[in-house]
Amino acid sequence: MTGLLSMLNPGWLLIAVGLVALFLPVRRVRQGLTIAAPIVAILLVSMADRNLNLLTGEALGLEMVFYRVDNLSYIFGLAFLLAALLNAIYAWHTDDRLQDGMSIAYAGAAVAATFSGDMMTLFVFWELTAITSVFLILRAGTRAAYFASMRYLGVQILSGVLLLAGIGYVYQSRGDLSISAFTSLNEPGALLVFIALGIKAAFPFLHNWLQDSYPKATVVGAVVLSAFTTKLAVYAFARMFPGHDALIWIGAVMTVFPVFFAVIENDLRKVLAYSLNNQVGFMICAIGLGTAGVGNALALNGASAHAFCHIIYKGLLFMSMGAVLYRTGTTKASELGGLYKSMPWTTVFCIIGAMSISAFPLFSGFAAKSLTMTAVGKEGYTIVWLMLLFASAGVLEHSGIKIPYFAFFGHDSGKRVKEAPFNMLLAMGLASFICIAVGVPAIVPGFGYEWLYNLLPYREEAMAYHPFTLDHVLTQMQLLVLAIFAFVMLKRLGWYPPEKPGVVLDSDWLYRKAGYGMATWTGTVWQKVGPAMSTVFFKLTGRAYERIEDTFSPRGELARGGLASGMAIWTAILLGFVLLLSFVTTG
Amino acid sequence: MIDLLLDTAPRWALLHAPALLVMAPLFLAPLLAILPSGRLSWLISIFATLFALFCALILVGQVQASPVGVVGYDVGNWPMPIGIVLRVDALNSMILLLVASIGVLATIFSWPTVKAEIPERKHPLFYSAFLVCFAGLCGVAITGDAFNLFVFLEISSISTYVLVALGAGRDRRALPAAFNYLIMGTLGASFYIIGVGFLYSATGTLNIADIASKLPDLAGNRSVEAGFAFIIVGLGLKAAVWPLHQWLPNAYSYSPSFVTMFLSATATKVALYALIRFLFTVFRPEFAFEQATFTYLLMPLGLAAMITCSFQAVFQTDVRRTLAYSSVAQVGYMILGVSVGTVAGVSAGLFHLLNHAMIKGALFMAVAGVVLTFQGTTIRDFAGLGRTAPWTMTGFAIAALSLIGVPLTAGFQSKLQLGYALFDQGMWWAVVFVVFSSFLAVIYMGRILEAIFFRPPINPRKSRKEAPILLLVPLWILALANIYFGITTELPLGLARDAAAAAFGLEAF
């Protein structure tokens, strides 16, 4: 029995539950299912044997591996399942079949993709994450959300199409589709796959869909969205492109540039979206350092640990902002402030999330990020190291201080609302617990950060690493204290960008404004020139059509003269031609 | 399944399958001619074709089981160079299987249309002629003797002329069509026999395998080259290679519906088989003159057929003529595949040959249904039939999509294989022609489909009138086969690849 169960991809279980939930009208039963499914799934994963193709199949002449667990996929899958559990608890107060079903199916697709052993299966679930997640944005019901979701869907499908094209090339050159690392970007299909993953991971200039859509999603939707799509891409990068130098620089740029946008952005959920981008940058950078197999095991460990912690604390931050949105109806910094009086628990949980993301010692971010920082320092990429350092300060600035400060402290907005519903608090509390639990030193061996390190892909190296050394703690504290000092100074002197309402245009200006203008302009021009051109065109085609009809129609040239009566002649001509050919070629 | 057949078939059938396959229909034919009842002769024809299918399946099994991939049969126990041998390898076992299965389906569906189109007293004679034609086609495919091949070719052709002429009951233009076909067909057969004569004068033998073994020593022999030229042109005419196709559109449009269906799926295919047999087994692509023929003659002709006949199909007003021109265009695809001169090319051509037989069989069966119920074959007559005869027309539509080459249909798969074979030899420009010709197919089939499904019936009194069940069942078997083989190509592609390998004299894949 257990043998059979441990062969079932837990992602499929979640997708199945999602499908059932879509049609299940009884609210509590449905929500009970969505909570129970991740728990069962976690049990299933922990039972599964490692490094074995547990479930295979064949379709379209391809060997498909539906379920394969190893150390790398295990930690990502576990984080996804934990996130699914927290999300389900967080959604307890809503009554929305579509949202419940799609959230759990989306999580399931991400898990199934993580545990897939070949690229075709990966592609299928890759697309499924896109299709299921779009409903979470659409469900917000606003006009802006509708257009954002369509843009989102377009970009996600584009990523899927590129991935499929890449897979095609890979299949042609390798002859099989098992997931293995690319040795170079010049390999056939590698670049296509790279770009496809890059879109999902929101690389610089491919990132706009994220800031565009996440803040417009529903309260629960934003929490759910923050966990899966980008981290799935991170996982895929860790699988297929570990140690590619390009990733180091892309990751470093990714950590730095969102800082500027995040600092001046007014919508706090959009700030979180930018900081999500910045965090993924750390992971991408770490993957760029870690070569497959041996090499710098520290870096891949760092990426995995960071992804794990990040899923939890970013979820926590989105949850707290969701609670604020749920109670006050807005997340604009300019309309918020002073909420700590009415929402004390939410404030505490938000601060815990903020401290985790800022990598305060004793919080999960510290345990994860110091792995990456050490790896970068060890490899001697000084500039990258400095960029990451700057980005860390930036994280503290916009996520660590700005979010709690503008929402819960700052100038009093005068809003007096109820505390968040209990289920939200419970979900946030659990997330906070995980944030602290994996952040504290391993006073009891095997707990604290060691529990997390135990799960990492390269266990021995991870266990040999100690985050709580004097220089780590000192460096981090210096950085944090200085950043806080800077914030206080700027605030005092009035230089900190004030919380002003407005929209920050990112490079999506290119296609949302310039591209739109271009399209309108082309449309106008076409309206003017079009008729003239179509007259010319139709005249030309009309004439061509007449010529073709003259030749080929039943009354035409071919049927009437030339060929029809002269078939006997044609036999003779062809005979003569073949004879001539033989004569010439052998003559 | 074939193993089961080999295990359970009686010993005489296993031993004499090659001879029985041809002889059973051939000897039943005169018996039919003296039968008083048309229905009885129809039943006997079904039996004869079924028996031939049974033998063909046995042969396929025996060829696959045989270590050398060849089943030989000495007629009258006379050994090879002296007597006539029947020689079956993967290539002709595939063709035999095709002819026999199409024969079975065609005979089953024939009764309603024959009853409607042929005068009653001629029914037994009609079936008698059909069986002779069937036996002749099987004989061409099975024989291992070049002269014997000519004899069977003439047997099948002469009975075909009769069958085509019997369409005069419905349309008097069948008579000139049959006469035209007779002249042209005779010309083709004469060319062929002249070619065989040249070969005989050079090699002193008529056995195909024997000729093949002696030819390499005769490099530069002028009579071999002359023989080659005559045979190519003669068989090319029979296979309706452009521009030697002009007997075909008339013969297909005016003959009885059943004859059109049967001929379109088998006759040109068998001639094409003979052409492939001579191009690759008797002569070899290594011969310089053959290579030149591929490059400068067959490939341009194939491309020209694909384009011009597709254009001609676009402008036809009669559905059967559209399909007839499309057939010539499809022969162009096969010739193109053959002219690549590689195993991949020939297998793509043969694969398309199989698929095209299924496609055109289904299409002409559906047309026969319309002729039966609505007495019309112009595109105008088809208007609105999607509502009055949904089953017949859906079958037609599936086959039409397959002809166009829509993914998930058999037609797509064979065009894909053809594309691969062309790309392998760096002839991507030829792929452009294939795509363009498919685009023309979209137009000419699209016109008909548009009339069927989107236009109101021209005669509103035409109420719901489906073709009889005897016709629908074979039609849907072929239509579903089009989809099935569009999804899993293992069986037909395997047959085609083995056949192509056999044509080159290689071991099976």
Is the CB of A585 less than 8 angstroms away from the CB of B291? yes
pLDDT in tens, A98-109: 888 999 999 999
Percent of chain B residues past pLDDT 70, beyond the cut: 98
Q: Which of A549, A579, A586 sits opposite B220 (nearest CB)?
A: A586
- Report the pLDDT value the prediction gives residue A296, as an integer from 0 to 100: 62
Section A466-491 average pLDDT:
82
Locate A344 and state its tokens. Answer: 């004390």
At residue A100, φ and ψ (nearest 5 deg) are: -60, -50
> What pLDDT is recorded for position B132?
94
Give me the DSSP letters along A288-325.
HH--SSSS-HHHHHHHHHHHHHHHHHHHHHHHHHHHHH
Sequence-ordered list of residues with C-beta below 8 angstroms from that of B3, at least 6 positions apart, any chain: B61
DSSP letters, B89-138, are EHHHHHHHHHHHHHHHHHHHHHHHHHHHHS-GGGHHHHHHHHHHHHHHHH
Cβ contact (<8 Å) for B314 and A583?
no
Distance from CA of B226 to the nearest CA of A (A): 6
B→A contacts (Cβ < 8 Å), by residue, are 183-184, 187-188, 191, 219-220, 225-226, 228-230, 232-233, 236-237, 243-244, 246-247, 288-289, 291-293, 296-297, 308, 311-312, 314-317, 321
Q: What is the pLDDT of residues B192-223, one digit of tens each?
A: 999 999 999 999 888 888 888 888 888 778 88
What is the interface pTM, i.e. ipTM, of the complex?
0.82
Distance from the A584 Cα atom to the nearest Cα atom in chain B, whole angstroms: 8
Question: A509 pLDDT band (50/70/90 cuts)?
Answer: low
Closest CA to B147 of B82, B229, B221: B82
Sign, Cα dihedral of A171, A172, A176, A180: negative
Burial class, A342, CB count within 10 angstroms (exposed 0-12 / middle 13-18 / buried 19+): middle
The pLDDT of residue A586 is: 72
pLDDT at A356 over 80: yes
> With 60 as the cut, is the pLDDT of residue A2 above it?
no
User: Which comes out higher in pLDDT, residue A18 or A264?
Assistant: A18
Q: Does A567 touch chain B (CB under 8 A)?
A: yes
Least CB–CB distance from A577: residue in B297, B308, B321: B297
Q: Decide if A581 and B297 are in contact by the 8 Å CB cutoff.
A: yes
Measured distance CA(A142)–CA(A149) in Å, rounded: 10
Strands (E), B258-325: none
Given an 8 Å threshold on Cβ–Cβ distance, is A581 in contact with B247?
A: no
User: For residue B460, what pLDDT is reported?
Assistant: 62
Which amino acid makes up residue A100?
Answer: D
Q: One-letter amino acid identity for A287?
A: I
Look at residue A293 in the predicted model and tell me its pLDDT.
43
CB within 8 Å: B229 and A579: yes
Closest alpha carbon to A261 in A301, A313, A215, A311: A215
- Position with higher pLDDT, A561 vs B90: B90
Residue type, A315: G
For residues A430 and A86, the answer to whether their CB atoms sit within 8 Å is: yes
Do B335 and B302 meet the contact criterion of CB atoms below 8 Å apart? yes
Contact A578 B228 (CB under 8 A): yes
Interface test with B, best of A552, A557, A560, A569 (most B CBs within 10 A): A552
With a cut of 60, say whether residue B509 has pLDDT above it.
no
pLDDT of residue B152: 94
Sort out which chain B residues have CB atoms less than 8 A from A574's CB and list them. 233, 236, 244, 297
Q: How confident is residue B457, by pLDDT bands cut at 50, 70 and 90?
A: confident
Q: Report the alpha-carbon angle A6-A11-A16, nearest 5.
A: 105
- Work out the minimum CA distance from A81 to partner chain B, whole angstroms: 37
* CA–CA distance, B326 with B308 (Å, rounded to integer): 10
Pick from A552, A556, A575: which is nearest to B233 by CB? A575
Beta bridge partners of B87: B72
Alpha carbon distance B24, B47 (integer Å): 10
Cross-chain residue pair B293–A549, CB shorter than 8 Å: no
Which of A582, A583, A584 is the best substitution to test chain B (most B C-beta atoms within 10 A)?
A582
Per-residue pLDDT tens for A94-138? 888 888 899 999 999 999 999 988 888 888 898 899 889 888 888
Q: Do B246 and A551 touch (CB under 8 A)?
A: no
Smallest CA–CA distance, residue B441 to chain A, in Å, is 15
Contact A556 B315 (CB under 8 A): yes
Q: pLDDT value at position A564?
A: 52
Of the partner residues A559, A568, A578, the one whose CB lies closest to the CB of residue B229: A578
* A180 touching B (Cβ < 8 Å): no
* DSSP state string for B156-188: HHHHHHHHHHGGGGT-TTHHHHHHHHHHHHHHH
Q: Which residues of A touch B220 (CB under 8 A)?
A: 586
- pLDDT winner (highest mean) among A105-114, A331-340, B386-395: A105-114
CA A459-A462-A464 angle, 5° bins: 110
Which of B409, B373, B412, B375 lies closest to B391 in space, CA to CA?
A: B373
Q: Are B225 and A583 inside 8 Å of each other by CB?
A: yes
The pLDDT confidence band at residue B508, using thresholds 50, 70 and 90, is very low
Q: Does A578 touch chain B (CB under 8 A)?
A: yes
Residue B233 to residue A571, Cβ atoms within 8 A: yes
A384 burial (CB, 10 Å; 0-12 / 13-18 / 19+) is buried
Compare all CA atoms of chain B with the CA of A562 and give the residue at the minimum distance: B243
Give mean pLDDT, residues A548-574: 72
Separation CA A179–CA A159 (nearest Å)? 18
Give the burial string for B76-114 (b: 16+ CB within 10 Å, else e): eeeebeeebbbbbbbbbbbbbbbbbbbbbbbbbbbbbbb
Pick B296's closest partner by Cβ from A558, A570, A581: A581
Q: In this complex, is the C-beta atom of A172 within 8 Å of any C-beta atom belonging to chain B?
A: no
What does the alpha-carbon distance between residue B190 and residue A418 come to, in Å, rounded to a whole number?
A: 101
Q: Which residues of B touch A554 (CB under 8 A)?
A: 315-317, 321
pLDDT band for position B366 (cuts 50, 70, 90):
very high
A444 touches chain B (CB under 8 A): no
Q: Does A541 touch chain B (CB under 8 A)?
A: no
pLDDT, position A292: 45
Contact A575 B229 (CB under 8 A): yes
DSSP state of A49: P
Q: Name the strand (E) or helix (H) holding A64.
A: strand A62-68
Question: From CA B415, how far away is CA B424, in angstroms rounded?
Answer: 14
Segment A424-431 mean pLDDT: 92
Asked whether residue A447 carries a pLDDT value surpassing 70, the answer given is yes
* B247/A567 CB distance under 8 A: yes
**Residue range A17-73, pLDDT digits in tens:** 998 988 888 888 888 989 999 999 888 888 887 777 777 777 666 777 888 888 888
Tens-digit pLDDT profile for residues B332-365? 999 999 998 888 899 999 999 999 999 999 999 9
Pick the residue from chain A with its C-alpha nearest to B295. Answer: A581
Closest partner residue to B226 (CB to CB) among A563, A579, A581 is A579
Closest residue on chain B to A559 (Cα): B312
Percent of chain B with pLDDT over 90: 38
CB pairs under 8 A between A and B: 78
Min Cα–Cα distance to chain A from B219, Å? 9
pLDDT digits (tens, 9 = 90+) for A169-220: 888 888 778 888 888 888 888 888 999 999 988 888 888 888 888 888 888 8
- What is the Cα Rg of chain A in Å? 29
Quickly count helices (H) and strands (E) in chain B. Answer: 22, 2
Nearest C-alpha of chain A: how many angstroms from B76? 37
Answer with the residue of higher pLDDT: B232 or A385: B232
* A61 touching chain B per CB within 8 A: no
Looking at chain B, which residue has its C-alpha nearest residue A546? B315
Give B43-77 pLDDT, tens digit per residue.
999 999 999 999 999 998 888 888 877 888 888 78
pLDDT tens for residues B408-446? 888 888 898 898 888 888 888 888 899 899 988 988 998
* pLDDT confidence of residue A1: 43
Give per-residue pLDDT as tens, B100-152: 999 999 999 999 888 888 888 889 999 999 999 999 999 999 998 899 999 99
Distance, CA of A113 to CA of A232 (rounded, Å): 8
Residues 495-524 in A contacting B (C-alpha not used; CB under 8 Å): none
Band of the pLDDT at A562, cuts 50, 70, 90?
A: very low
What percent of chain A stands above pLDDT 70? 93
Average pLDDT of the residues in A561-578 = 75
Helix (H) or strand (E) holding B88: strand B85-89
Whether chain B has a CB inside 8 Å of the CB on A183: the answer is no
Check A548 against B237: CB less than 8 A apart.
no
